[in-house]
Structure 1
Amino acid sequence: MWKSVASNALTLLIVGIFLLGGLVLWGKDQYTGPGPLAEAICVRVQPGARMGSVTNDLEEKGAVTSASIMRIGADYSDKTDQLKAGSFLVQPGASMEEIVDIITRGGANSCGSQIIYRIGVTSAQAEVRDFDAASGHYVEKAEFDLSSDAPKPEDFTRLRNQSDTAYRVVVAEGVTSWQVVDALGRIDVMDGEIAGVPDEGSLAPDSYEVRVGDDRAALIDQMQTKQRLILADAWANRVEDLPYDSPEEALIMASIIEKETGVASERRQVASVFVNRLNQGMRLQTDPTVIYGITKGEGVLGRGLRRSELDRETPYNTYVIPGLPPTPIANPGRASIEAAMDPEQTDFIFFVADGSGGHAFAETLADHNANVAKWRQIEAERANQ
């Protein structure tokens, strides 16, 4: 009898081991195999969240078949305590293993809500937008002028109070240092004071990630460090025989190029015009420098230049003074800095607007006058429309 009992027990044990092994294999397949998600979703992990609450939320959304299996898998891979706060995009069919990796790897938010502060040449705006996981694109919810005293949009207030909202400050090419400082002072998610306006041209136009409570002066330092590196790299790779003796002079030239054209393909041609003028002892004769002499970079002139302003001798009136003005007239981007260091090889010494947003270039005064006549005709036709 005892032999029979022992035999049955051994049989049950073997069957149990096989069943347990099968269950483990099934669980592993469930954890690593394709998930049930039919459309992409944005998973928000709040600061201080625990794996249990996140997996339960994912099961409710239909992203995983079993919150329990996902927790066991995360625990087995030692990732249970590695959750990162943020908003993360989960693609259709993502396995539990892939989702665990996404929410524990961290890094920049790949979806969710954003508030973007855009510092432009003519205005500073805040853009509020949400990520639409189904389309894979951000959808603008609201926009407002940073200088306005009007109440903020409801969507801004909503996202401002969300802990996982991402913030960016985007500085456009050609803005002045005063404009950057003025706009940063209006961004209420940042703290601290900026001691004075940084040197013109010293800030790198780019997109910068910021967080609630970040110091404004620290962001200025970041912009200056980036611009120094860009300038140093471009200067080290400059072509020979340029008519400026230092990186600082090249930066002045780059700022003029930046303000003269918004067409990327024209930058090196515009640079060639000014380099040719300097090499020939001609005056630069560029309106943006005159305008800077009037505004000091504090806002936009908002009108045309007067004859008296073009005739008056100031350090920035390149119709009157020889050579470069004493400082940059804006913060140029990398492309304009590189154009100043490597201008196109041309014989152009004139250019004028061509009506398409770009410019018509000329080697002789006669050709330039013909281009000017065409531009004035375009202006007249537009005025009569």
Structure 2
Amino acid sequence: MRRLGTLIVVLAVMGCVLIGGNFVYGWSAKGPLTKETEFLLPEGSSLSSAAASLEELGAISSSASFLNRAKILGSNEPIKAGEFSLPAGASNSEILSILQGNAFITRLITIPEGMPSILVHERLMAEPLLTGDIAVPAEGSILPESYAFERGETRVAVVKRMQDAMRNAIDTAWKSRKKDIAVSSPQEAVILASIVEKETGIASERRKVAGLYSNRLKRGMLLQADPTVIYPVSKGKPLGRRILRSELNAINDYNTYTTVGLPKGPITNPGRASIEAVLNPEKTNALFMVADGTGGHVFADTNAEHENNVERWFALRRQRGEIE
């Protein structure tokens, strides 16, 4: 009987060790996921509701086993709402660590420098992971950058971040502005920066283009910026053709060929570099510029010099077969 009792105790201990070992092993063993899988944990989710969703997703075999092991073997850190990427074969332990950490899936939407608000609207509306409708944002109110967003986030919230970023960028740049610049307010700075943004895509030219237009503003000259002619016609989208003479002669609040001074508002969303260029323009005597055929411009201080540059530009275009 004594031997039988000892045997029973040994078997009981072995059974406990086996059960305990299986319990611990199940915490770190390879899970059932066969491929990397996205998992969205809504705000306010509990560990129990997360476990149920994980079982339904097929990331864990049993929500009850996951919860029991998590309470005994896991960390006491809270889980976090967000979208996560669960790797193939993720163990219960790995999954809990992921949900407690900051390894959220980062999704970005990029607004390039010089993208007009009508195209910003189209880009946001085309993003299927965002929700809700928005109106076209005010021109010049969006800071061109890449913005992180979460699946299911509202487009209104994303636009607000973009506009807050623009306000902060302008406020910061305005505090560092140089003396005797041609603009008298942050809004005027954005308007002029939007012209600079559309007139040149060459980073090294921005401050000189800003200096040229600043000179013209100070002298009360017409700015004669082609993009301001196009804006009322296309709202910032590519025109797709040459500007018509009637459009150059049109009298409206944007056409700087017929109205002295700045247009009534921005013609696109300028980037930080163009804003900073307007607030710290290059000191130059240039009043004129024309394309040089390489994507940049030739600058001139006098009209006679400018006319010679224009003739060379037209000769190059005729040589290329662009005009007769």
- Deviation (angstroms), 1:257: 0.8
Match of 1:314 among 252, 255, 280: 252
Root mean square deviation of aligned Cα:
4.9
Aligned 1:315-354 pairs, distance under 5 A:
315-354=253-292
Partners of 1:376 and 1:310 in 2: CA distance: 19
Question: Counting helix residues as a fraction of each chain, which structure ranks higher?
Answer: 2
Higher relative contact order (CA 8 A, sep 6+): 2
**Mean CA deviation greater in 332-341 or 183-192:** 183-192
- Deviation (angstroms), 1:239: 0.8
Partners of 1:361 and 1:71 in 2: CA distance: 72
- Deviation (angstroms), 1:376: 2.6
Report whether the alignment pairs 1:50 with 2:51.
yes
Q: Please tell me the residue identity of whatever aligns with 1:228.
A: R
Report whether the alignment pairs 1:251 with 2:251.
no
Structure 1 pair 242/73, CA: closer, same or farther in 2 (3 Å)? farther
Structure 1 pair 96/342, CA: closer, same or farther in 2 (3 Å)? farther
Report whether the alignment pairs 1:270 with 2:266.
no
Question: Counting strand residues as a fraction of each chain, which structure ranks higher?
Answer: 1
User: Percent same amino acid among aligned pairs?
Assistant: 39
In the alignment, what sits opposite 1:362?
Answer: 300
For these two proteins, the number of residue pairs brought into alignment is 312
In the alignment, what sits opposite 2:101?
Answer: 105
Structure 1 pair 337/374, CA: closer, same or farther in 2 (3 Å)? same
Report whether the alignment pairs 1:177 with 2:174.
no
Q: Please tell me the residue identity of whatever aligns with 1:284.
A: L
- 2:299 is paired with a residue whose SS is strand
Does the 8 Å contact 1:50/1:83 carry over to 2? no
Match of 2:169 among 216, 230, 239: 230
Does the 8 Å contact 1:278/1:284 carry over to 2? yes
In the alignment, what sits opposite 2:132?
Answer: 191
Aligned 1:270-289 pairs, distance under 5 A:
270-289=209-228
Partners of 2:213 and 2:233 in 1: CA distance: 23
- 2:261 is paired with a residue whose SS is coil
In the alignment, what sits opposite 1:376?
Answer: 314
Partners of 1:333 and 1:311 in 2: CA distance: 30
Aligned 1:151-162 pairs, distance under 5 A:
none
Structure 2: give runs of 5+ residues left out of the alignment. 1-9, 42-48, 61-65
1:115-137 CA distances to partner (integer Å, 9 max, x unpaired)? xxxxxxxxxxxxxxxxxxxxxxx
- 2:210 is paired with a residue whose SS is helix
- 1:254 is paired with a residue whose SS is helix
Does the 8 Å contact 2:230/2:236 carry over to 1? no
1:146-178 CA distances to partner (integer Å, 9 max, x unpaired)? xxxxxxxxxxxxxxxxxxxx5x44333223334
- Deviation (angstroms), 1:290: 1.2
